[in-house]
C-alpha cells in the first residue's frame, strides 16, 4: 500500500496565492508516484474569498480537504488544527504563499525514507527582501532564546517541515494554549535534518506580520520557553538588597562619626526612582508569566471549526 503524506496549509487571506500553490503541489505530486499526497487547507478566518477557493479545489480534487475556523485564531492555532486532523504517515506544514517551496518535498521525503531522521526542517540562509532592522532583531532573538531556553531554535528556521507520525503525536500532546511551534518542535526532540535554502518572496498577497506583531511573538517565545527573565528579576532584587544593606551600614557609621549634615536630597530621589523603576520592571516580567498562566488555566479551545469538507474532523480543541 502507498504511504500517505498530509500537507497542512494554514491560510489567511490567500485567495490569490492558493491556486498557484495548488498547481505547484500538483506538479510535485506527479513526481512522487510512490506516495498518496493530500492537502489539508486550514482557513484561519480569512476575510477574502479564500474559503470559496478551497471549496472549489475540494470539489474538483478529492485529495483536497479543508477546515474553516469561525474566526481568525492565528497561524499557531491553524497549525495545531492541522496536526490534530492530519492522518498521513508523513505530515508537513507548508505556507500557501510559495515561500516554502513545494519543490523541496521530494528531497525531504527521500531523506526520511533513506536516512535515520524523524523530521526534515528548512531554514532560510538569506533574508533578501527583508528590512535590515528586522533581520537584526531576528538574529538577536535567536541568540537570546538559545542562550536562555532549552528550545534549541535554529536561526532562520521556518515552520516548513516534514515529519513522521510519531512526531505529530508528540506535537498534538503538547496542548498548551500559548503555542510557539518553533520552540515546541525543538523541545520534543527527535532527530531533525536541516535543509538550507535561499529566501523566496511571496507570490501574491502580503505578509500578515507587522514589526510589532513579530516583536510580541518573540517575547511570547521567550516567556513560553524560558524562566530566565524571572531568575534575572530575582537576582536583580538580591543584588539591590545587598547594596542597600551596605549603604545603610555606611550611613549609620557616618552618622555616628560625623553627625548629620543635610545633603544628598537629589541623590536620594535618584536612588528611589531607580529602584522604583527596577521594581516595576520586575513586576512587569512576573505579570507576563502570570498572564500566560491565566490563559493556560482557563483552558479555552485553540480553535473552533465552523465548516469543513469532511465530517470526522476534530471541531473544537
# of chain residues touching ligand UDP (CB under 6 A): 17
Cell of 202: 511571496
Residues in region 14-43 near ligand UDP by CB under 6 A: 14
**Which partner from the list ligand UDP, Mg ion, none does 3 bind, CB cut-off 5 to 8 Å by kind?**
none
Cα–Cα distance measured from residue 244 to residue 256, given in angstroms and rounded to the nearest whole number: 18
C-beta closer to Mg ion: residue 76 or 97: 97
Q: Which of 51, 74, 141, 160 binds ligand UDP (CB under 6 A)?
A: 74
State the residue for C-alpha cell 512526531.
167
Residues of span 255-274 touching Mg ion by CB under 5 A: none
Among 5, 7, 8, 11, binds ligand UDP (CB under 6 A): 11
Nearer CB in complex with ligand UDP: 10/229? 10
Any contact of residue 97 with Mg ion (CB under 5 A)? yes
CA distance 165 to 183: 19
Contact string (CB under 6 A) for ligand UDP, positions 205-244, x = contact: --xxx-----------------------------------
Quick one: what does residue 10 bind among Mg ion, ligand UDP, none, with the CB cut-off 5 to 8 Å set by partner type?
ligand UDP
Cβ nearer to ligand UDP, comparing 36 with 130: 130
| Of the candidates 58, 19, 55, the residue with the CA atom closest to the CA atom of residue 38 | 58
76 touches which of Mg ion, ligand UDP, none (CB within 5 to 8 A by kind)?
A: none
Rounded least distance, CB 101 to ligand UDP, Å: 13
Task: Report the largest interatomic distance among the alpha carbons of the chain, rounded to a whole angstrom.
Answer: 93
Burial of 54 (0-12, 13-18, 19+ CB in 10 A): buried
* Residue 41 contact partner, candidates Mg ion, ligand UDP, none, CB within 5 to 8 A by sort of partner: none
CB of 281 to ligand UDP, least distance (A): 30
Q: Binding marks (x or -) toward Mg ion, 180..219, rule CB under 5 A?
A: ----------------------x-----------------
Q: Does 123 bind ligand UDP (CB under 6 A)?
A: no
Is residue 202 involved in binding ligand UDP (CB under 6 A)?
yes
* Binding site residues, Mg ion, CB under 5 A: 97, 99, 202
* Binding site residues, ligand UDP, CB under 6 A: 10-12, 14, 44, 72, 74-75, 78, 95-97, 99, 202, 207-209
Amino acid at each position: 500500500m502507498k504511504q500517505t503524506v498530509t500537507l497542512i496549509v494554514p491560510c489567511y487571506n490567500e485567495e490569490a496565492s492558493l491556486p498557484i500553490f495548488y498547481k505547484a503541489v500538483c506538479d510535485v505530486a506527479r513526481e512522487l508516484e510512490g506516495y498518496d499526497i493530500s492537502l489539508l487547507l486550514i482557513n484561519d478566518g480569512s476575510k477574502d474569498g479564500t474559503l470559496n477557493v478551497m471549496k472549489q479545489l475540494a470539489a474538483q480534487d478529492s485529495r483536497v480537504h479543508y477546515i474553516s475556523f469561525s474566526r481568525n485564531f492565528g497561524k499557531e492555532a491553524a497549525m495545531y488544527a492541522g496536526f490534530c486532523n492530519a492522518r498521513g504517515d508523513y505530515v508537513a506544514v507548508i505556507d500557501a504563499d510559495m515561500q516554502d517551496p513545494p519543490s523541496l518535498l521530494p528531497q525531504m521525503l527521500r531523506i526520511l525514507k533513506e536516512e535515520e531522521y524523524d523530521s526534515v526542517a528548512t531554514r532560510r540562509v538569506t533574508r533578501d527582501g527583508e528590512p535590515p532592522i528586522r533581520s537584526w532583531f531576528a538574529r538577536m532573538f535567536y541568540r537570546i532564546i538559545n542562550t536562555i531556553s532549552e528550545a534549541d531554535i535554529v536561526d532562520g528556521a521556518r515552520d516548513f517541515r516534514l515529519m513522521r507520525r510519531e512526531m505529530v503525536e508528540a506535537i498534538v500532546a503538547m496542548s498548551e494554549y500559548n503555542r510557539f511551534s518553533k520552540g515546541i518542535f525543538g523541545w520534543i526532540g527527535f532527530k531533525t535534518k536541516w535543509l538550507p535554502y535561499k529566501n523566496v518572496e511571496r507570490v501574491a498577497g502580503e505578509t500578515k506580520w507587522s514589526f510589532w506583531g513579530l516583536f510580541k511573538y518573540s517575547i511570547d517565545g521567550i516567556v513560553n520557553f524560558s524562566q530566565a527573565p524571572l531568575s534575572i528579576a530575582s537576582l536583580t532584587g538580591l543584588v539591590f538588597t545587598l547594596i542597600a544593606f551596605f549603604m545603610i551600614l555606611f550611613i549609620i557609621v557616618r552618622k555616628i562619626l560625623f553627625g548629620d549634615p543635610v545633603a544628598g536630597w537629589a541623590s536620594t530621589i535618584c536612588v528611589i526612582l531607580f529602584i522604583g523603576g527596577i521594581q516595576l520592571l520586575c513586576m512587569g516580567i512576573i505579570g507576563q508569566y502570570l498572564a500566560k498562566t491565566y490563559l493556560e488555566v482557563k483552558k479555552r479551545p485553540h480553535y473552533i471549526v465552523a465548516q469543513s469538507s469532511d465530517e470526522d474532523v476534530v471541531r473544537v480543541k
